[in-house]
Structure formats: C-alpha cells, structure tokens
Structure 1
C-alpha cells in the first residue's frame, strides 16, 4: 500500500500532477523553533517542507543536524522533506567550500526522513558526480540555480537549463529576478517550452519578487511542479501564504 508521502513523490517525479505541490520553507535558527515549525506544518497537513539548513545556528555540527532530522521523523511521515543548504552566492546565509558543502549533503543522504536534497549546480565542480553519490543512498535531487539580479534572455535560460538537466538530477529548479513584466512573461514561456521539450523531467521555475508573484500560482498551466509558500517567515521575496496559494490553485484547477 502506497503511503501519502510516496503518492506525493510519484506525482512529482512521474509528471502526472495537475495542481503544483505546495512547499513551505522552514527558516528558523534554533532547533526548538525548527522542530516546532515542522510540527505546525504537520498539523496543517502541508504537502512538502523545505528545511533551509544554512539558517540553522548549529550548521557546523553534523550531530546537531542529525538530531533535528531524527526529532521531526513523526512529523514528516505524510509530507515530503527537501533539505537545502543555500550558499551566500545563491541567496543563502553561509559561505562554505565544496568539501564542506558535500559533507552537509552526506548528512542528509544518511537520513531516513529526507526525500530531496537541493544541490546548487554551480557551487560544486562536478555536480553530476555529487548527484550520483546522493542517488547511491536512494535520495532524490533537486538541482538548482538562482539569478538574483536579472532574468536572462531565453537562449541563456536554455543554456542554464541544459547544464542542470545534464547532471542527472531528478528535478531541475531555476529561479530568476524580473525587472519588468516582460521578464515574467519570458520565464513563463521558457517554462512552457521546456516542459514541451522534456515532459518527463519535473521542473520548478520561479520569477521572484512582487512582479513574479503570478509565476507561483500558474504551475498547472505552464508546467512548474512545486511552488513555495509560507506559514510564517518567508525564505524568498514574493512568497505568498500557503493558505492563499492553496485557494488560488484550487480556483485555477476547477476553472
């Protein structure tokens, strides 16, 4: 019998979802608040959570990270857990060398509760090898890249996508910053074109900030598999509340 977590995983990886999965970021700094945030997500029947490990005050202690992962096991039985270490150059809070970053991925790979590990494509020299190593531990990978200053032109977006696609990750994620509404339209068209080209490869695209809000609620139309919303603190500009996003996604789906 397939459990709820496996059903969610299958919907994403097989591309047969209709309404995008809503993922709530957990961005608290101390372990008690982090565990409480997981509990709140569990009580609100959230489909997926992203733990931003780079914000954890004990990030330099693998044992403390393991402690949190073990402590939230019961809360994650029916929701997906994305483990993310966001480096400073990609909008996160920490500056780490490649060796340290891989060590942090290894901690997640060993955990029974982690479902996806976010790997920054251009923060490691050989992302394909890093991802293959994670796959050996039966974990899925979201390979990501963020552009915080602009929305690249379409040929550049496709070049970035191909670099990410070639790593062998399970999901490709690209987030960009729009300067105007045309940038948002370009990101949405790019998303649609990529899904037509590679319908079996799950894709997450985000146009960040207030201008890009529309990109967070149109995944069913254009092809983005996961959208990010918040129960409390935001992890990125332009995020809406989980309640609002769910309501809007339901309206779009019924229409």
Structure 2
C-alpha cells in the first residue's frame, strides 16, 4: 500500500491521523485560531477557505496563507474550498472554482489541496497534473449531505478519483439509517483492498459518529476534530477523538 507524505505527515492505512479545520472568516480570526491550534499540535490543519471573506481577493488570500503557515509550522496545511453543493459556505461557479485552485497551486499556498470530483474531469486532470508538478499532494473528495451512496456507487466514485491520479481518495456522506453507516465501513474496508492509495471515509451526523474514530480498524487514514467550530455534522471534539483512537490503535 502506497503512503502519501504531506510535509512531515505520512498518511497510511495502518494509522488514523487527526486534522483540525479552520472555518473562521477574517484574517485576524484565522491567525488567532491558528495560535490556539498550534498548542494542541494536530497532525494536519485544514483551512476551509470557503469561509474566508476575502477568498476571491488573491492578494489577501496569498498573504493570509503565508502568515497562517508561518504560525502553524511545521504542521502541514490542507487548503479546501468546499463548494456550496457539497456542503460549503459559498456558491462558486466552476470557472471561478478552478481559477481559485490554480491560484493556490501557482503560488504554493498549501502543503496539500482538496479537489472535488464532481466537476469537469478533463479540467480536473489538468489541475492534478499541475498540482503534482508543484509537489503538492491531492486529496480528491466527494461529499453528499443528503444520502449515502450504495457500495457499488461508492466504489465507482473512488475509482474515478483513482483514475484522475488523486493521491488520497475521500468520501463523506450522510447516513439515513444504521445500514448506511455499515455501508461506509464496508466501503472503507473494500477500498483498502482495491486501491493502492490511502482512503478517507466518513459517515456524517449523529448516526455516523463512530466512523470518525474507527479508522484504525477500517483503514480510514484521516479524521477531523473540532477544537472550537465543527466543519461538518458529527465531528467530535479533539480530546474525545484522541481517547477513542487510542483505544482502537
């Protein structure tokens, strides 16, 4: 199984690393929150730039990114713009979405970048090529806040990500029953056997909470914890998550 290195972090199927998201909206609040995050030393920080009020201002985005990474060093930073249709905070058309990601890549603003699967595949492929040329690993993702895909559909989504040369494959979905949660756990197990890449699987909400700490058993390489603000339904606080992961590791 191939591992993926993001700065000083290795994502692998035999352990589950912890990321803390930043969803603050101003430069000052982002940098202040980063100082608090630094004290708890997570494995990774995800900066959700769809919450950043100046996200479409290249100058402010670049400056804030440099300042953020300086504060957090050596903790790696994953930059994510989650589109509105996948649970994000800001509507953005595809042209603007791809332009924003290109700005991040061209200016080396991140240690890793999230690219959503549900866009034009040809453009995604080019973007992934450019990202790899900049030595930035790609986490490709698909989020469904309404339902959980079937096992067959979930594997198809992961296969598409793999064929687009993503380094890490991620699916997060909303369960409507306990069977949906079991589907996600089965998907994670099967994907680990099929793909030579780290997998992230999350079942969101109250029903899916156990998937946030079951990664050591079901081979999900990364989970997300809330220090103050949760970025998705069902996120556990950092201390609780660490306790559960320690029991299963």
Aligned partner of 1:52 in structure 2 is 48
Corresponding residue number in structure 2 for 1:24: 20
Q: Is the 8 A contact 1:19 1:249 kept in 2?
A: no
**Which residue number corresponds to residue 162 of structure 1?**
159
**Residue 171 of structure 1 pairs with residue 168 of structure 2:** yes
SS in 1 for 2:33: helix
Name the residue aligned to 2:232.
236
Match of 1:118 among 114, 123, 146: 114
Instruction: Pick from 213, 238, 242 the counterpart of residue 246 of structure 1.
Output: 242
Query: Conserved in 2, the CA contact under 8 Å of 1:27 and 1:233?
Result: yes
Output the CA distance in 1 between the equivalents of 2:107 and 2:42.
Answer: 21
Tell me the distance in 1 between the aligned counterparts of 2:42 and 2:151: 34
Pairwise CA RMSD: 1.6
Per-residue deviation, 1:223: 0.7
Structure-2 residue corresponding to 1:203: 199
Contact 1:76–1:113, Cα closer than 8 Å, also in 2: no
Task: Supply the distance in 2 between the matched residues of 1:158 and 1:141 (Cα, whole angstroms).
Answer: 19
CA distance in 1, matches of 2:130, 2:109: 18
State the match for 1:73 in structure 2.
Answer: 69
Structure 1 residues 131-150: aligned runs within 5 Å: 131-150=128-147
Conserved 8 A contact 1:5-1:77:
no
8 Å contact 1:217–1:249 — kept in the other structure? yes
Name the CA distance, whole Å, in 2 between partners of 1:103 and 1:209: 32
Ranges in structure 1 where 5+ consecutive residues have no aligned partner: none
Map of 2:32 onto structure 1: 36
Distance 1:165 1:232, change over 3 A: same
Is 1:223 matched up with 2:219? yes
Normalised to the residue count of structure 2, the TM-score between the two structures is 0.93
Cα shift at 1:124: 3.4
The aligned runs of 1:172-187 (5 Å cut-off) are 172-187=169-184
* 1:172 counterpart SS class: strand
TM-score (norm 1): 0.91
Greater mean alpha carbon deviation, residues 234-243 or residues 130-139:
130-139
Distance 1:5 1:144, change over 3 A: closer
